[in-house]
């Protein structure tokens, strides 16, 4: 796949995936976290952030992968 096309696809997936992910996680937080302790909020947002960073890292690594035969 052409690197420019891979980066374009990656940016589109990154933007729409991030928006969907954040809306989804916020809806979970609003449904499950009201009335709970502060440490549960902190733990929830820490776990959600780590999952997003791992997902974004995998996507960015795929976007920057060289073509076969390139070094």
pLDDT at residue 71, rounded to an integer: 63
> Does residue 2 carry a pLDDT above 90?
no
CB atoms within 10 A of CB 63: 16
Mean predicted lDDT score pLDDT of the chain: 92
Task: For residues 19-42, give the mean pLDDT.
Answer: 94
The pLDDT > 70 percentage for the chain reads: 99
Q: Would you say the pTM of this structure is higher than 0.85?
A: no
The CA–CA distances, whole Å, from 24 to 12, 20, 48, 51, 69 equal 18, 6, 11, 13, 40
Q: Is the pLDDT of residue 68 over 80?
A: no
């Amino acid at each position: 796949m052409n690197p420019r096309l891979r980066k374009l696809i990656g940016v589109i997936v990154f933007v729409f995936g991030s928006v969907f992910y954040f809306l989804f996680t916020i809806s979970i937080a609003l449904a499950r976290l009201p009335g709970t302790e502060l440490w549960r909020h902190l733990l929830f947002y820490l776990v959600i952030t780590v999952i997003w960073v791992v997902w974004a890292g995998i996507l960015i690594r795929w976007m920057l992968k060289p073509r076969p035969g390139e070094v």
